[in-house]
């Protein structure tokens, strides 16, 4: 089942005309930051299930809001002195020798679990800003 929404481009252009491109971007950026915080909170909760030193949790980092392929985006990544970015992929997908590590699928679970809350925060912030 699919839904087709007609007039969305016209609506967006009208909002941009009335509010200004800078205001729309400011509101969108603020909504993205708050929604990303919701996801990071869930990601940290998921990582508690296989926490050993806590370095994977401590090194979760959010990028600043930027435009990627025409869309405003925030990236969640791992950065820090313990270089946990090197093993996050191994925890998420496993290896040939260890196909089911303790943290397998936790990033995907966090994405799924936070999807509704993420949307709700985005909608609330956009309504508040516009």
* pLDDT tens digits, one per residue of 58-94: 999 999 999 999 889 999 999 999 999 999 999 899 9
pLDDT digits (tens, 9 = 90+) for 13-27: 887 888 888 888 898
Domain span holding position 73: 8-129
**Any domain includes 116:** yes
**Any domain includes 93:** yes
pLDDT confidence bin for 32, thresholds 50/70/90: very high
**Any domain includes 83:** yes
CB 113 within 8 A of CB 46: yes
CB 14 within 8 A of CB 90: no
Average pLDDT, the chain: 89
**Any domain includes 1:** no
CB 105 within 8 A of CB 88: no
**Any domain includes 44:** yes
**Any domain includes 2:** no
First to last CA, the chain: 31
Query: What is residue 117's predicted lDDT score, i.e. its pLDDT?
Result: 94
Helices (H), 20-105: 21-47, 55-58, 85-93
**Any domain includes 50:** yes
| Token representation of residue 107 | 């990033």
Average pLDDT over residues 3-12: 70
Q: b/e per residue, 37-75, with b = 16+ CB within 10 A?
A: ebbbebbbebbeeeeeeeebbebbeeeebeeeeeeeebe
* pLDDT higher than threshold 60 for residue 2: no
- Indicate the number of domains in the chain: 1
- Rounded CA-CA distance 94/87 in Å is 10
**Any domain includes 3:** no
């Amino acid at each position: 089942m699919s839904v087709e929404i007609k007039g969305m481009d016209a609506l967006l252009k009208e909002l941009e005309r009335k509010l200004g491109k800078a205001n729309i971007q400011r509101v969108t950026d603020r909504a993205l930051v708050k929604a990303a915080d919701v996801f990071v909170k869930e990601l940290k909760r998921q990582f508690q299930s296989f926490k050993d030193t806590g370095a994977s949790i401590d090194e979760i980092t959010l990028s600043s809001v930027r435009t990627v392929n025409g869309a405003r985006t925030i990236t969640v990544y791992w950065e820090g002195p313990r270089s946990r970015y090197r093993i996050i992929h191994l925890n998420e997908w496993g290896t040939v020798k260890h196909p089911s590590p303790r943290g397998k699928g936790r990033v995907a679970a966090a994405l799924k679990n936070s999807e509704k809350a993420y949307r709700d925060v985005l909608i609330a912030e956009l309504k508040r800003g516009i």
